[in-house]
């Protein structure tokens, strides 16, 4: 893992660029039972060339790949984790980040905050423990090869002040 991370005083753009510059990223919140946002993010990152690790304690595999019950189970660790879970689960995941040395967290949030993984308490916990945190937005608005819909969402949220700080 890189020892250099964007600080919590850096801009959103700097934290996004730092997060996406990493190659080993976990996605917490994938499901083999039904199609969820975490599945889409996992596939998008994998398709963009990232080494992606699925995290779900209830699934042994996802899309033919191993699915890990927690961050500590991922061989060699990861450089960042995208959390696509309910906020109360996010709080458990960020504690795992401290325990395993994960320096970057992205808490997914859909357009208009309809579906969010953001927990203000978890975001504060990250900052207190030196973890670079993006508390909101969607990685698919920034990753290489983003679709038209996510480009529009990024533009709209930027225009309306809806992007995280």
What CATH superfamily is the domain 12-160? Answer: NAD(P)-binding Rossmann-like Domain (3.40.50.720)
Bin 112: left if φ > 0, else alpha if -120 < ψ < 50, else beta.
Answer: left
Give yes or no for a contact between 27 and 82, defined as CB atoms under 8 angstroms apart: yes
Q: What is the pTM of this model?
A: 0.87
Q: Answer whether 37's CB lies under 8 Å from 156's CB.
A: no
The overall average pLDDT reported for the chain is: 87
What pLDDT score was predicted for residue 7?
64
pLDDT at 112 over 70: no
Q: Per-residue confidence at 148, pLDDT binned at 50, 70, 90?
A: low
Count Cβ atoms within 10 A of the Cβ of residue 6 and give its class: 0-12 exposed, 13-18 middle, 19 or more buried: buried
Q: What is the mean pLDDT of residues 131-150?
A: 83
What is the reported pLDDT for 2? 41
Q: Domain boundaries in the chain?
A: 12-160
């Amino acid at each position: 893992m890189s020892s250099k991370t964007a600080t919590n005083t850096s801009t959103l753009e700097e934290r996004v660029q730092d997060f996406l510059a990493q190659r080993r990223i976990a996605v917490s919140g994938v499901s083999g039972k039904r199609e969820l946002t975490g599945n889409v993010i996992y596939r998008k990152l994998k398709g963009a060339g990232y080494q992606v690790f699925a995290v779900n304690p209830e699934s042994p595999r996802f899309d033919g790949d191993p699915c890990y019950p927690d961050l500590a189970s991922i061989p060699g660790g990861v450089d960042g984790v995208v959390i696509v879970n309910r906020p109360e689960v996010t709080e458990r995941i960020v504690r795992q980040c401290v325990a395993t040395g994960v320096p970057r967290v992205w808490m997914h949030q859909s357009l208009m905050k309809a579906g969010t993984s953001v927990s203000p308490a978890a975001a504060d916990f990250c900052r207190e423990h030196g973890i670079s945190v993006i508390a909101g937005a969607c990685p698919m608005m920034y990753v290489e090869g983003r679709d038209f819909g996510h480009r529009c969402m990024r533009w709209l949220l930027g225009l309306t002040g809806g992007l995280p700080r």
